Amino acid sequence: MPRLPKPPRRSGRVRKERPPFRARRSARVRDLLGPDAVGIRQSLVALGFSSLTAVVAGGFLAAMTGTLERNPGLLVLVPAAIGMRGNIFGALGSRLATSIHAGTFRMSRRADALVTQNVLASGVLSLVTAVMLAVITKILSPIFGLDSVIGVADLVVLSAVGALLSFLVLIAVTLALAARSAQRGWDLDDVNAPLVSAAGDVVTLPALFVASFLLEIDALTTSLASLLVLLSLLSLWWSRRSLLTTMRQVLAESLPILLATGILLVIAGVVIEHELATFAANRAVLVLVPACLAAAGAIGGILSGRLSSKFHLGVIEPTAVPGRPARRDLIAGLAFALPVLIFNGLLAYVASVLFSFESPGLASLLWISVIGGSIATLLAGAIGYYGTALAVRAGADPDTYGMPLVTSSVDLGGAAALVLTIGWLGLS
């Protein structure tokens, strides 16, 4: 058998071929941002969709300024109700995402199934926290200088009816998103917070608006408020006696943190209510309120969801200085902020032109969105990491604690940042 000729020898060192420039650049981008290209694309699409729906919600809010002026305290409930929906259903999505990563997610109608117990817990939390927000609003508003607030029965009806109407839609959205993510292999952590936030923005404001019509009937308002308070107490009593351990654990861990975050959310609403006259004179600025808070909260939610899943899986440790994998997620989240906030400002200006809302102009809207939203996003990044890390160190479920800490703190910090920016621009 003839021998094959030997390949010619090359003198010197063998030089490795470098990958093409485009491949090297893509590798550097992936190394910088941390999440893979699919995750980045999913997050950006979800954040863009969240911005669109948040601006729609802001337009709806700007259009109902008359209702806000007739019912003092309703504007206090707006960020509180939207934030609480994000807290409850964002945490639910984060828990479902972790179960998908761990391979334990199954859609089932059995009462003892993981998904069913989480749904029941979310329903109880929605009702109980709605009543709680109404009471907190009535207590805190006078302390922070809002004396003319509607009665506590009116607040209970507004908050609880709005929460129950929102629950019916948001639970369907969250479960459909989780099932689709498990089926298609999506990372639910990348899309959960923006899409749940988007759905919450769109659903919560119309639900509060519908509930406000019930306030016209005094006798119905009082009796309905009493019934809703009784139902919330009975649901708590039933859940404590239930044998569904996962549901009881979620409720036991969630209620204290939701009570604390509810106080922050109400204070955020009070901050915004104080500027109602400014918002009524510049309704285009009111369009930005849900948009900026939703963008910062969604980015913080993405961070919290990704970090909590990595803590669960042992990929990262809860250290004082974030490790490299955590830093990658933090940098990616902050990199999303600027284009999304500019997009929000442009959308608010377009909405003001289409619906003839009073506007301070495109430049002012962009400055308000970018400055106020950037401050809120930086706060979201810090709380997203350290809030989740503290939950892990305390032995608590970071999925349950991380999301509420981020969204409520961002709502308060973002509301204050927006009001400060409006003052800096001389609009108040």
pLDDT tens per residue, range 354-373:
888 888 889 988 998 888 88
- Mean pLDDT, range 144-157, rounded to an integer: 87
pLDDT-derived band at 129 (thresholds 50, 70, 90) equals very high
* pLDDT surpassing 90 at residue 125: yes
The residue that leads in pLDDT, 141 or 69, is: 141
pLDDT tens, position by position, 374-420: 888 788 778 777 877 777 777 776 666 666 777 677 777 778 888 88
pLDDT tens, position by position, 97-111: 878 877 777 787 787
What's the predicted TM-score (pTM) here? 0.71
pLDDT-derived band at 254 (thresholds 50, 70, 90) equals confident
Question: If you search the block for the tokens 């301070």, which residue do you land on?
Answer: 360
State the pLDDT at residue 136.
93
Q: What percent of the chain has pLDDT over 90?
A: 12
State the pLDDT at residue 400.
67
- Mean pLDDT, range 244-263, rounded to an integer: 87
Is 210:60 a contact under the CB 8 Å cutoff? no
Q: Which of 26-35, 136-145, 278-287, 396-405 has the lowest mean pLDDT?
A: 26-35
Q: Which of 18-32, 60-74, 249-263 has the lowest mean pLDDT?
A: 18-32
Q: Residue 389 contacts by C-beta under 8 Å, 6 or more apart in sequence?
A: 307, 311, 318, 319
pLDDT tens, position by position, 274-314: 878 888 788 888 888 877 777 777 777 777 777 777 777 77
Average pLDDT over the chain, rounded to an integer: 79
